[in-house]
Amino acid sequence: MREYPDLAAAITAALPTRRFGRALRVYDRVASTNDVARDLADAGAAEGTAVLALEQTRGRGRRGRAWISPRGGIYLSVVTKPSLPQEQWALIGYAVAVGAAVAAESAAGVRMRLKWPNDLMVDDGKVGGILAEAWGTIAVAGIGMNANVATETLGPGAASFPLDDAGWVSLVRAILCEAERHYDVLQSDPRHLLDAWRARSMTLGRRVIVTGAVEAEGLAEDVAEDGALLVRTDAGLLRVLAGDVTVRNTADTRR
């Protein structure tokens, strides 16, 4: 794995974070930054240790999917050691998603909204996502963003946005800052973090189709304190803890 210490130093120079990215490893190409971060965490790396790659050969998405990771995009993983009750660990992905969306807007001028649970969307196209993987007392939050990627090479429904080299570095720095800020909000006041997620949500108040372990259709009413999506169906209120939602492309908000 070819490593770029100079690029890491340029990103971390004057980075105003306390933990996220203070230790940063930048690689040309890895299988998955989540795996490298996991190995570092198992070897005792501090909270906030981050791994960034220009390319991934076996990037992973949620629910066992592949995350196509050609050059141009951002592939970043951060080691966290949350002091949260286990039932709220799903919210780590929410905190990082809100942080990534805020960062994209401030550093790249790209307005992103969130599709439950933590897809980063521009209009109806998915431009990024978060994969949080936990074991023991550690969780690694992986962020993928499709910048500069030819959309034909990505799966259906995926989108990308343009970013020059300086913009790429600025956006990585902004993601580290905003992800840390929202992770701190989560740890001090999970309800406040959920409000920030709600404010960027494109799912709530919309009619959705739920797929995965549970299949249903209804109105996405809210998110619960553990991150479950609350969907009002004909059979009652459904708590969806894992799965995918498709937002119906209508203004129809009936159950």
Site string for ligand BTN, 203-242 (x = CB under 6 A): ----------------------------------------
Q: Which is nearer to ligand BTN, 61 or 190 (CB)?
A: 61
Give the number of residues in contact with ligand BTN, rule: CB under 6 A.
20
Task: Record the tokens describing residue 53, joined without a space.
Answer: 């790659």
Dihedral pair phi/psi, residue 2, rounded to 5°: -75, 130
Minimum Å gap between C-beta 194 and ligand BTN is 19
| Start-to-end C-alpha separation, the chain | 52
The answer to whether 160 contacts ligand BTN (rule: CB under 6 A) is: no
Question: Looking at the chain, which runs of residues are DSSP E strands?
Answer: 24-30, 50-56, 74-80, 113-115, 119-122, 125-135, 138-145, 207-211, 216-223, 229-233, 236-240, 244-247
The answer to whether 25 contacts ligand BTN (rule: CB under 6 A) is: no
The answer to whether 49 contacts ligand BTN (rule: CB under 6 A) is: no
Residue 195 CB-half CA count within 13 A:
5
Beta bridge partners of 57: none
Dihedral pair phi/psi, residue 189, rounded to 5°: -155, 85
The answer to whether 148 contacts ligand BTN (rule: CB under 6 A) is: no
Q: Which is nearer to ligand BTN, 151 or 233 (CB)?
A: 151
Minimum Å gap between C-beta 255 and ligand BTN is 28
The answer to whether 180 contacts ligand BTN (rule: CB under 6 A) is: no
- Residue 211 burial (C-beta neighbours within 10 Å; 0-12, 13-18, 19+): middle
Closest residue to ligand BTN using C-beta atoms: 129
Contact residues: ligand BTN, CB under 6 A: 32-34, 56, 59-62, 65, 67, 75-77, 119, 129-131, 142-144
